[in-house]
Every structure is written in structure tokens, then in C-alpha cells.
């Protein structure tokens, strides 16, 4: 059940990057935007990026910043989304590396429950160039964990919405992670991807999940006792599996952290040519790992789609089963009503016949039969026999005098007709109820098969995501080595990787020429003759 939705601020709740807009006040917007982009792509850590950007704002008036903050536009659909969540009694929080001067105004305007951001340090109304707050060195996940612990809810009850690399930790750990107009690295790990600049699309995804959860809970409550028990057992197994998966993931994460701590520092080659060779090797290696990671992500997306389609089908079949169950129950109510009508008619008939003289008539007829049997079967003296004959004749006279009321007879006939019609209805409706019951069982059996297939797809999805995460860790490790190489080569930017793993032809040519120049210089040192062309090549690369 969703209890909390956490949003990033910049480019999610507001349509823009607050610090980029503030940078315009100090005419450093381009420098800030460049650092922001590197941080969003994960090329530099967030702590470094926020400190570097705020340093550029030293001396900026806090009053001017407050004015800019008040004019920042909301993301389309922001108000409707927050209001829609509040209508569902869902808490809303903002966790952002941005600043309280912006977030506090948004909190007031939209009625957000909690806001966690950083703060500018101000002296005499001017920024000092320093920044403080829980999100300078800490991660968004750390802040989120503290919040949910204080609120008494679980991470699985949280939806996290973000767009950049510093959102990944909370998006991965939340019950549902949504990538909103996000970087590729965020989309790869998110459960839901929204590529439209309209926050109501995020609201739709959340409401859809709520509807699905509610429908599943309703189904569990309505199904027959056995089916309910099966569902509860299945849910219990799923919870155990989820807990196991969470424990495994946590163990893997700890393992990765330990591995990262224990990883030896990358050793550069002794020569520049060796370093360049290392770079080529690392570029080829990182391209291969990126392709492998993408393949696992592709499998994860496919299995998630299959799982979601199966879950949708599961819901549809459960609803069908419930429809037939309700239909059967309604028919059974009609069956009971028809039985009641039939029994009441039969009781009225019996009562009517006895009260109309039939009871006395039957009694006299039985007496006559009894006397006739005695006369026929026993040897009696003539006097006693004559007396019995006289008694029987007297009874026959009484019987002839009894006349059944014609109106009562007509009423009894009408009641018999009603009883027969009610009985026919009981038979007809019972057959319909049995048919509905069989359809209900058919759909319940079908849901069991679908649930099994959905569980299998979910396991494959989890496995693929784990493999993709492992490849992503390899990717980051290689990228770290490339940063070391680039620093040695005098460049902070790794050359652009290409899917065909080939470097630029110009770069290869330069390296070949420089290598040839080194060989010429070695020949010259050993007394060999050098041509004019070779001398020019030595001069080109400043060798000798």
C-alpha cells in the first residue's frame, strides 16, 4: 500500500534547474550548467558538484535569489498531482540537493508535508560560497530512511520520483521507482518510466497501482474460503521471497562496497605510449560491458512487461471468477425463494384440505374399511355381525352427507399449481447455479496457472536486474580507471565510446607518427643518418 511519495525538486516539481537560474545573477550560468550536467550523468560525485557550483555564487545577494525562487515555474501538472495524492491520504515529501530558499516556497504553495534540502551560507545578505545540509555529503536514500523510520512506514510503501544520478539510490530502494524525463542511467533501474513533461502522468501511474492493490485486496476478501486461503499462502510465500531478495540484495551491496574498498588502485603504465594503450584497452572493455549491461536491461524490461501483462490477466480472470461466484450466489438466493414459495403453498394446501371436511371424510372412510375387514376376516355370531353391518351403514350415511366446499377446492387447486411452478423454478435455477459454479472454478484454476507464470517472469526480471546491476558496477569501475588514465594524459573527459569499439582514425595516426618519431630519435642517438623529413617529424613532436 502506498503511504508516501517522494519527489526530487529540480526538473520534477519545478520546470528547471534552480541553481542554473540563480547562476544567471552572477553571470556563471554556463559554468554551473556544465557542472550540473556532469553530476546528473554521474560523471562527478554530487558533493563535489554542489560545492563547486555554490562557490561560483559567492557574493550573490540572497534577496535576489529569493526573487528568482518565487518566479521559478512549476512542472505542468504539479499542483494536480500533489492534490490528487493528498486526496488519497498519501503523504508527499521533497528530497533534493537544491536549496531551502526554493523548496520552502514550493512547500507552502503546494502543501507538501516534508522537505529535505541544502542551505546557502549567508553573511551580510550575501552568499559566502559555502553550502550546508544533509544532502551535501549524504545520499537521498539516507535521508529517506530516516524519514520513513520516524514516520513508522516501510520503504516498500514508498514511491520515489526523480531524474538524475543522485536519485538512483532512493529510486532503487523504494517500493516503486519512477524515472521522470530522466537520464538513461536512471531509466535503467526504474520500475516506471515517464518521458512526458507532465506530472499527472506520474499521478496516473500511482493511482493505477493503488487501483490494482485495492482490487487485489477486494478479491482476497470475496473469494471462497479455500481460494482465500490459497491467495494468503501465495502472498506469504511472495513476502518471504521478497524478504529473501532484499536480504540477498543487501548482502550483494555490502559485498560490492567491501570489494570497492579492497580494490587496488589502478596502476598506470611506465610510458605514455603504454598509458595510451591502456586507454584503448579500457575503452574497448567498457564498451563491451555497456553492451552486456544493456542486454540484461533489455531482458529485464521484457520480463517486467510479461509479468505486468500476466498480472493484468490475473486480475481479469479473478474478476471473472468473482462475477460467476456472485452470479451463482444470486441464483441460489432465487432458488431458496422458490423453495420457500413451494413449501408455503404445500402447507396451505394441507391446512385447507383438513379444515374443509376432508379430515372427517378420511376418518370415516378408514372406520368403514376397518369394520368391513373385521366382517370379512373374523367368525362372528350373528348378533355381533349385524351390529357391525349397521355401524358401517350409519358411517356411510354420514359420509354421503359430507360435501367438500367447491370454493375451497378451487383454492386448493390454485395452490397446487403454484407449488408445481415453484418446484419447476427450483430445478431450472439450480441448474443455472451449478453452471455458474463450474465457470467460477474454471477461472480460479486459470488464475493459478497465470500466477505461476507471473512469478516465473518476476524471478527472471529480478535475475536480469541483478545481472545488469553487476555489469553497471563493472562499468563504473572501468570508468574510474579511465578517469585515472585521462588525468595522466591531461584530459578530464574520456573520449567518446563508439559501439564498434574503434578509436578515431586521426588519433591512431598521431600515435603512429609519434611512435615513429621515437624510433627515429633512437636511430639518431646511435649515430644513424636522419633525413630532412625525419627531422621535421622530430620537431613536430618536440623530441630531442
Strands (E), 150-252: 158-162, 176-180, 192-194
Partnered with residue 92 across adjacent β-strands are 5
Tell me the DSSP string of 173-192: HSSEEEEES--HHHHHH-SE
Q: How many Å apart are CA 355 and CA 361, to the nearest integer?
A: 11
Pairing state between β 114-123 and 126-132: antiparallel
Cell of 32: 554551473
Sign of the Cα pseudo-torsion (198, 200, 202, 205, in order) = negative
Phi-psi region of 111 (alpha: psi -120 to 50; beta: other; left: phi over 0): left
Question: 10 an active-site residue?
Answer: yes
β-bridge pairing 176-180 and 192-194: parallel
CA distances (Å), origin 26, targets 61, 101, 489, 519: 9, 17, 33, 52
DSSP for 371-425, please give it.
Answer: HHHHHHHS---HHHHHHHHHHHHHHHHHHHH----HHHHHHHHHHHHHHHHHHHH
DSSP characters over 253-300:
HHHHHHHHHHPPPPPPPSSHHHHHHHHHHHHHHHHHHHHHHHHHHHHH
Helices (H), 93-139: 100-110, 134-137
* Active-site residue, from 10, 91, 163, 481: 10
Helix, strand, coil abundance in the chain, percent, nearest 5: 75, 10, 20
Sign of the CA dihedral running 140, 142, 147, 153: positive
Sign of CA dihedral 163, 164, 170, 174: positive
Whole-angstrom Cα Rg for the chain: 44
Q: Of 8, 20, 167, 191, which is the active-site residue? A: 8
Which helix (H) or strand (E) covers residue 455, if one does?
helix 406-489
* Grid coordinates of 30: 554556463
Q: List, in sequence order, every residue forming a beta bridge with 160; answer none if it has no partner.
A: 6, 177
What sections of 57-116 are H helices per DSSP?
Answer: 62-71, 78-87, 100-110
**CA separation for the pair 347, 358 (Å, rounded):** 15
Cβ–Cβ < 8 Å for 5, 91: yes
**Active site residues per annotation:** 8, 10
Amino acid at each position: 500500500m502506498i503511504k508516501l511519495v517522494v519527489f526530487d525538486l529540480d526538473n520534477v516539481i519545478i520546470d528547471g534547474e534552480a541553481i542554473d537560474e540563480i547562476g544567471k545573477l552572477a553571470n556563471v550560468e554556463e559554468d554551473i550548467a556544465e557542472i550540473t550536467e556532469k553530476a546528473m550523468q554521474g560523471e562527478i560525485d554530487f558533493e563535489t558538484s554542489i560545492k563547486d557550483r555554490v562557490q561560483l555564487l559567492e557574493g550573490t545577494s540572497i534577496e535576489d535569489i529569493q526573487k528568482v525562487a518565487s518566479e521559478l515555474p512549476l512542472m505542468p501538472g504539479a499542483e494536480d498531482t500533489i492534490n490528487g495524492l493528498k486526496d488519497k491520504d498519501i503523504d508527499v515529501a521533497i528530497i533534493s540537493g537544491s536549496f531551502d530558499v526554493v523548496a520552502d516556497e514550493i512547500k507552502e504553495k503546494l502543501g507538501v508535508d516534508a522537505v529535505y534540502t541544502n542551505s546557502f551560507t549567508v553573511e551580510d545578505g550575501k552568499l559566502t560560497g559555502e553550502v550546508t545540509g544533509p544532502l551535501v555529503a549524504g545520499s537521498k536514500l539516507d535521508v529517506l530512511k530516516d524519514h520513513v523510520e520516524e514516520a513508522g512506514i516501510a520503504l516498500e510503501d514508498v514511491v520515489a520520483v526523480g531524474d538524475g544520478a543522485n536519485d538512483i539510490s532512493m529510486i532503487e530502494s523504494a517500493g516503486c521507482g519512477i524515472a521522470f524525463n530522466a537520464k538513461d542511467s536512471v531509466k535503467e533501474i526504474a520500475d516506471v518510466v515517464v518521458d512526458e513533461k507532465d506530472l499527472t502522468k506520474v499521478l496516473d501511474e500511482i493511482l493505477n497501482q493503488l487501483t490494482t492493490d485495492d482490487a487485489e485486496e477486494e478479491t482476497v476478501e470475496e473469494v471462497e474460503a479455500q481460494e482465500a486461503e490459497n491467495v494468503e499462502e501465495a502472498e506469504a510465500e511472495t513476502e518471504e521471497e521478497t524478504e529473501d531478495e532484499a536480504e540477498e540484495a543487501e548482502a550483494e551491496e555490502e559485498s560490492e562496497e567491501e570489494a570497492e574498498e579492497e580494490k587496488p588502485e589502478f596502476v598506470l603504465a611506465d610510458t605514455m605510449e603504454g598509458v595510451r594503450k591502456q586507454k584503448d584497452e579500457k575503452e574497448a572493455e567498457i564498451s563491451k560491458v555497456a553492451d552486456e549491461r544493456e542486454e540484461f536491461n533489455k531482458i529485464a524490461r521484457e520480463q517486467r512487461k510479461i509479468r505486468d501483462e500476466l498480472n493484468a490477466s490475473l486480475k481479469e480472470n479473478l474478476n471473472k471468477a468473482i462475477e460467476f461466484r456472485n452470479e451463482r450466489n444470486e441464483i441460489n438466493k432465487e432458488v431458496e425463494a422458490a423453495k420457500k414459495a413451494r413449501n408455503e403453498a404445500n402447507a396451505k394446501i394441507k391446512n385447507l384440505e383438513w379444515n374443509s371436511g376432508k379430515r372427517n371424510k378420511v376418518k370415516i372412510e378408514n372406520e368403514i374399511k376397518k369394520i368391513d375387514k373385521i366382517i370379512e376376516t373374523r367368525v362372528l355370531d350373528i348378533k355381533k355381525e349385524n351390529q357391525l353391518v349397521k355401524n358401517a351403514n350409519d358411517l356411510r350415511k354420514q359420509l354421503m352427507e359430507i360435501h367438500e366446499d367447491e370454493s375451497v377446492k378451487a383454492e386448493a387447486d390454485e395452490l397446487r399449481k403454484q407449488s408445481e411452478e415453484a418446484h419447476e423454478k427450483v430445478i431450472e435455477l439450480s441448474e443455472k447455479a451449478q453452471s455458474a459454479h463450474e465457470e467460477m472454478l474454471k477461472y480460479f484454476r486459470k488464475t493459478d496457472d497465470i500466477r505461476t507464470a507471473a512469478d516465473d517472469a518476476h524471478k527472471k526480471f529480478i535475475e536480469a536486474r541483478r545481472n545488469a546491476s553487476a555489469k553497471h558496477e563493472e562499468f563504473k569501475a572501468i570508468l574510474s580507471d579511465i578517469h585515472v588514465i585521462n588525468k595522466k594524459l591531461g584530459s578530464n573527459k574520456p573520449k567518446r565510446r563508439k559501439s564498434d569499439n574503434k578509436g578515431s582514425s586521426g588519433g591512431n595516426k598521431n600515435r603512429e607518427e609519434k611512435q615513429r618519431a621515437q624510433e627515429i630519435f633512437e636511430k639518431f642517438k646511435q649515430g644513424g643518418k636522419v633525413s630532412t623529413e625525419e627531422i621535421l617529424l622530430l620537431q613536430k613532436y618536440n623530441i630531442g
